Amino acid sequence: MSTLRVLLLTLALASPALAQTAPTEGPSMGPPAGYNIDPEFTETSPNGAITIEQYENKHDYKWQFWVRREGTFTLLDPELAEYPAGFRFTSDLKWLVRMQKTGAGESTLHLYRQGPQGFVPATKTPLGDLAWAYFKSRPEWRKVRKEPEYHISVNLLKGTEESYRRLGVVWPENRYLLIGLSGDADIKTRKPMQTGVVNGWRCRYDLQTGKFDVPPLFSHDNAKAVVPQ
């Protein structure tokens, strides 16, 4: 038998063994043991090209979010969540917002951008935290009766996919996200059920520049959203 034939036979026999030693875990291989999909929370992009599956570990009640796209299956975010989430895409599918419940009546937002390997975090700090920081930097924050202590929520306004045309605006497509902030605090002079100190204060986030602002169309409602001192 020639040397070449011996070499080919050796490689053929070795291949199955090599395949068995390939990694079976990792961010592109699927959820670890103990995590099971909950189909109720599976979400798909408007064009059907991207599917987000949510997996729960019922032993410790933690969640992972996995993205299927063009034959790939990748972990969206390595940080575990305590609740399932909602998701919304921009119409060009370049941006993804995760609307994450964080507690009873509480929520925040996480922003992801499309990269060569799939969606990756677009900000080091959750978008919800950045929105609150922006609000606190503005003069109207000084009018808030008391800083929110609970039921602190950050919500993404409907209309992302159609660039908020329903509000009567003509903004560049896939450019902005509209965000609402709410929160409660205990105030001695008020009844227990009248605790809202920030009630849907709104701002706009520019996906291109990474900056916040407040469009004029929010001025009237924002004035009523802050409970004065």
Would you say 98 and 88 are in contact if contact means Cβ atoms under 8 Å apart?
Answer: no
**Residue scoring higher pLDDT (12 or 164):** 164
In this prediction, residue 186 carries a pLDDT of 87
Q: Give the tokens for residue 116.
A: 């060569």
CB environment 189-217: b (16+ within 10 A), e (fewer)? eeeeeebbbbbbbbbbbebeeeebebeee
Angle at 200 between CA 197 and CA 201, to 5 degrees: 85
In this prediction, residue 116 carries a pLDDT of 87
In this prediction, residue 14 carries a pLDDT of 39
- pLDDT surpassing 50 at residue 193: yes
In this prediction, residue 221 carries a pLDDT of 93
The type of residue at 32 is P
- pLDDT surpassing 80 at residue 224: yes
Give CB contacts under 8 A, 24+ apart, made by 38-43: 38/84, 41/84, 41/85, 43/86, 43/87
pLDDT band at 2 (very low <50, low <70, confident <90, very high): very low
In this prediction, residue 229 carries a pLDDT of 52
Dist. CA 29–CA 86, nearest whole Å: 23
Q: Give the rounded percent of residues in the chain with a pLDDT score beyond 90.
A: 75
- pLDDT surpassing 90 at residue 174: yes
- What tens digit of pLDDT does each residue of 122-170 get? 999 999 999 999 999 999 999 998 899 999 999 999 999 999 999 999 9
**Residue scoring higher pLDDT (50 or 6):** 50
Say how far residue 97 (Cα) sits from the centre of its chain: 4
Strands 150-156 and 196-206: unpaired
Mapping DSSP to helix (H, G, I), strand (E, B) and coil, where does residue 97 land? strand
Per-chain mean pLDDT for the chain: 86
* Mean local confidence (pLDDT), 181-190: 86
- What tens digit of pLDDT does each residue of 76-135 get? 999 999 999 999 999 999 999 999 999 999 999 999 999 888 999 999 999 999 999 999
* Mean local confidence (pLDDT), 34-50: 95
